[in-house]
Structure 1
Amino acid sequence: MFFSVKNLDHWMVPKRMLLASAIVALVTIALKTGAWWLTGSVGLLSDAMESLVNLASAVFGLMMVTIAARPADQDHPYGYHKAEYFSSGFEGILIVAAALGIIVLAVQRLFDPQPIAQVGWGLALSVGSSVLNGLLAWFMFRAADQHRSLALEADARHLVSDVWTSAGVVVGIALVSVTGWLWLDALVAIGVALNILKEGWRLIWRSSQGLMDEALEPEVLAVVRQVLDGFATQQLGSEAIRFDHLYTRKAGQRRFVDVHMHLPANWTLGRAAAMRGKVEQALMRELPGVRATIELLPSDVEVYFDENKALK
C-alpha cells in the first residue's frame, strides 16, 4: 500500500510537524478572524489571538528544533539538544502575553456589552478550526512521544488548549444567543484567558526545569536500575559486580547516565573494559540514544562526594 502507518511515522519528524503546525495556524487564524469579523464576539477575538500565538510558537519551535539537530562540535561537545527548552519557554511566554491581552479586551467589553451577529456562520468557522487543531495535536503528540521532543509536545499541548478554548467560546456564544445576556461573551473570554494563562505558566516552568538538568523520569530511571541490577546479580568468583553513585539527567531528546561500577580488583583492565561495554550495550538496547558514562573501580575502593564542601 502507498499509505501505511510506517510511511506516516516517516513523515512525522519534528521539523515537518512544526511546519505543518505553522500552516494550520495560518488557516485557523483566517477562519477565526472571519468568525470574529462576522459576529463581533470578543470571545472569538480571543480565540483568534491565541492562534496568532500558535503561529509564532510553531515558527520559533521550528528554528529551535533545527538548532537542536546540529551535531556536537568542539564548543558544544554534548550537542545542542537543550535548544528545545527555549522553544517551550518562548511559547509559554507568548501564551501568558496573549492571555493578559485577552483579559484586558474582555474586561472592557464586560462594561460595554455589544450584540453578536451571524452566530451560525461564526460558530461554524470556529468549530472547523478546532477540528483542524485537534487532528494536528493528535499527530504531534504521537511524534513527540516517538522522538522525545519537548518542542513538539509543547506545541501539541497548546493546540489542545486552543481546542478547549474554542469549545468554551462556542458554548458562550450559544448561551448569549439563547439568553440574550451579552455579558456572557466577555465572561467566557476571561475564563478562556485564565485557562491558557495556566497552560503558559506550566510550559515556562517545565522548560526552566529542563535547563537545570532535571533527572530522568521515574519510569525511565526504573529501567536503568533494572539493567544494572541484572549485572549486579552475577557472581564472579568470591565477588560480585556492584553499582553506586548513579546520576541521571536529560537534555532535550538526549538522556545521560553516570554511574560507578565496582569489579574484582584482580581483573585485568581489558576484562573490566569488556564488562563495561556489555553494560553500555544493555542500557542502549533498553533506552536507545542514551549516553552512559561508567567509571570502573575495584571492589575495595569507595569514592565519596560531598557537594556542600569545596573540593580539596
Structure 2
Amino acid sequence: MQLASYLKLSVAVALATIVLKTGAWWLTGSVGLLSDALESLVNLAGAMFALAMLTVAQSPPDADHPYGHHKAEYFSSGFEGVLILAAALAILWAAVQRLLSPQPLDALGPGLVLSVLSSALNGALAWAMLRKAREHRSEALEADARHLFTDVWTSAGVVLGLIAVHATGWLWLDPVIAIGVALNIVREGLHLIRRSTDGLMDRALEPEVRDQIRRVLDGFDQHSIRFDHLVTRRAGQRRHLELHMHMPADWTLGRVAAERGEVEQALMRAVPGLRATIQLLPMDVETHFDDAEPAAAGPPR
C-alpha cells in the first residue's frame, strides 16, 4: 500500500471514530469522552493536511524548487502539533466548567463500548502506519501515526477513569480525567512541533546512519584516498551528505571519476535515499567555506 493510501485510510478511520466517540459522549454526558471526541477531530484535520503535504512532497523538482519538495512533510508535523495544542485548550475549558458543576453520567456501559471500539480502530491503523513511516522515512505519516497512538492511550485512560467514576460515585473524577487528557496531548503536540522545527532547520542524520556512512568511507580510506569535511542533513524522505574526497594530484581524470563513482554507489547501497555531493581535491589541497579553522577528518556531522 502506498503512503497516500495510508493517509486516506486515516481520514476514513478518523470519520468513523468521530461518530463513535461523539455517540459515546452523547449517551453518557461525560466530559472525558467529549475530550476524546475533540481529539478525533484533530486526527481528521491532521490526516487531511498530511495527505496534502505528502502530495506536495512527492512532486518532482521544478525550476523554482530544483532540489524537490521533500521538506513539505515537516509542515504536516508542525500543523498537527498546533492543532493538538488548540484541542487541548478546548478540552481544558470544558473540563474546568464541568469541575465547577459536576453532573451524573448516563448509559455508561454502551458509551464505553463505543469508545473501546474506536480505540481498537485507531490502534490497528497507527501500528500499520508507523511501520510504513519508518520503512519510507515519512515525517507526515509518522506524525499521524504517533498522534493516533496518543489517541489510543488517551481513550484507555478515559475508559479506566470512567469505570472508577462508576465504582466510586466521585463525579469530580470525570473532569479531572479530561484535564489529564489535555495535558497528555499538549506533550505530544509540543513533541511534533519540535520534530517539525528540527527538520526545517536541516537537522543532521541519525547517529546510527552517520556511523554507517563512516564505515563505508573507512573501506575506501586507503591507497592514497582520504575524506574530510563531512556534513549531513535530512529533508523529508531524502538524506543528504556533502564531503571532500582527496586523491593524488597525478591521477588521471578517468581514475578519479571511477573512484568517486564507486564511493557514491557504495554510500547509496548502504543508506537508501542518500544523495551524496562529493568535491574532489588533490591530496595537498584544502578548501574551506565557512570554517574558522580547517576541519579534521572525522565522523559526519
What TM-score results when the alignment is normalised by the length of structure 2?
A: 0.96
Q: d(CA) in 1 for partners of 2:180 and 2:31?
A: 12
Runs (4+) of structure 1 moved beyond 6 Å?
none
In terms of mean alpha carbon deviation, does 155-164 or 265-274 score higher? 265-274
Q: d(CA) in 2 for partners of 1:230 and 1:75?
A: 38
Deviation at 1:59, TM superposition (A): 0.4
Q: d(CA) in 2 for partners of 1:271 and 1:75?
A: 35
In terms of mean alpha carbon deviation, does 295-304 or 134-143 score higher? 295-304
Specify the SS of the correspondent of 1:295. Answer: strand
Q: What amino acid sits opposite 2:232 in the alignment? A: T
Q: Residue 42 of structure 1 corresponds to which residue in structure 2?
A: 31
Deviation at 1:304, TM superposition (A): 3.0
Deviation at 1:172, TM superposition (A): 1.0
Q: d(CA) in 2 for partners of 1:243 and 1:307?
A: 16
What TM-score results when the alignment is normalised by the length of structure 1?
A: 0.92
Q: What amino acid sits opposite 1:254 in the alignment? A: R
Q: d(CA) in 2 for partners of 1:162 and 1:28?
A: 11
Q: How many residues are paired up? A: 293
Asked if 1:82 is matched to 2:74, the reply is: no
Q: d(CA) in 1 for partners of 2:276 and 2:137?
A: 18
Asked if 1:26 is matched to 2:15, the reply is: yes
Deviation at 1:308, TM superposition (A): 6.3
Q: Residue 228 of structure 1 corresponds to which residue in structure 2?
A: 217
Q: Residue 242 of structure 1 corresponds to which residue in structure 2?
A: 226
Structure 2 residue corresponding to 1:292, chosen from 257, 265, 276: 276
Asked if 1:162 is matched to 2:151, the reply is: yes
Residues 1:289 and 1:242: Cα distance change in structure 2 (over 3 Å): same
Q: d(CA) in 1 for partners of 2:62 and 2:196?
A: 24
Specify the SS of the correspondent of 1:215. Answer: coil
Q: d(CA) in 1 for partners of 2:197 and 2:154?
A: 25
Structure 1 residue corresponding to 2:98, chosen from 88, 109, 113: 109
Q: d(CA) in 2 for partners of 1:226 and 1:61?
A: 35
Q: Residue 265 of structure 2 corresponds to which residue in structure 1?
A: 281
Q: Give % identity.
A: 68
Residues 1:268 and 1:76: Cα distance change in structure 2 (over 3 Å): same
Specify the SS of the correspondent of 1:231. Answer: coil
Listed as ranges, the gaps of 5+ residues in structure 2 are: 294-301
Q: What amino acid sits opposite 1:21 in the alignment? A: S
Structure 2 residue corresponding to 1:269, chosen from 253, 262, 270: 253
Structure 1 vs Structure 2 CA RMSD: 1.0
Q: Residue 3 of structure 1 corresponds to which residue in structure 2?
A: none
Structure 2 residue corresponding to 1:63, chosen from 52, 55, 65: 52
Q: What amino acid sits opposite 2:80 in the alignment? A: E
Q: d(CA) in 1 for partners of 2:290 and 2:67?
A: 25
Deviation at 1:288, TM superposition (A): 1.9
For 1:139-158, list aligned pairs within 5 A.
139-158=128-147
Deviation at 1:243, TM superposition (A): 0.1
Q: Residue 187 of structure 1 corresponds to which residue in structure 2?
A: 176
Q: d(CA) in 2 for partners of 1:179 and 1:226?
A: 60
Q: d(CA) in 1 for partners of 2:229 and 2:292?
A: 16
Specify the SS of the correspondent of 1:81. Answer: coil
Specify the SS of the correspondent of 1:176. Answer: helix
Q: d(CA) in 1 for partners of 2:25 and 2:291?
A: 58
Specify the SS of the correspondent of 1:220. Answer: helix
Deviation at 1:307, TM superposition (A): 4.7
Structure 2 residue corresponding to 1:253, chosen from 237, 249, 256: 237
Listed as ranges, the gaps of 5+ residues in structure 1 are: 1-10
